[in-house]
Amino acid sequence: MAQPFDAELEELVSKFSRELADQIRALILRRLGIERAPASRPAPRSTPARSAPVSTPTPARTKRAPNRAPATVRAPVSERRHAARPTSEERAAAIERIARIIANGSGLSVGEIERQSGFTRSAVGSALKTLKDQGRIFMGGTKRFARYATTQAAAEQASLEARRGAAA
**What CATH number is attached to the domain comprising 103?**
1.10.10.10
Looking at the domain assignment, is residue 72 inside a domain?
A: no
Nearest CA among 165, 114, 146 for reference residue 138 = 146
Question: Over the stretch 86-119, which tens digit does the pLDDT of each residue have?
Answer: 788 888 999 999 999 999 998 999 999 999 999 9
What pLDDT, in 10s, does the model give residues 10-49?
888 888 888 888 888 888 888 887 765 454 455 555 555 5
* Residue 8 Cα distances to 4, 19, 150, angstroms: 6, 17, 59
The boundaries of the domain holding residue 7 are 1-33+77-85
Q: How many CB atoms lie within 10 A of CB 132?
A: 13
138 and 81 assigned to the same domain = no
In a domain, 51, yes or no: no
Q: Would residue 61 count as lying in a domain?
A: no
β strands within the chain, DSSP E:
138-140, 147-149
Residues 131 and 96 in one domain: yes
Statement to judge: residues 100 and 133 lie in one domain: yes
Q: Is pTM, for the whole model, over 0.75?
A: no
Clarify whether residues 81 and 145 are in a common domain: no
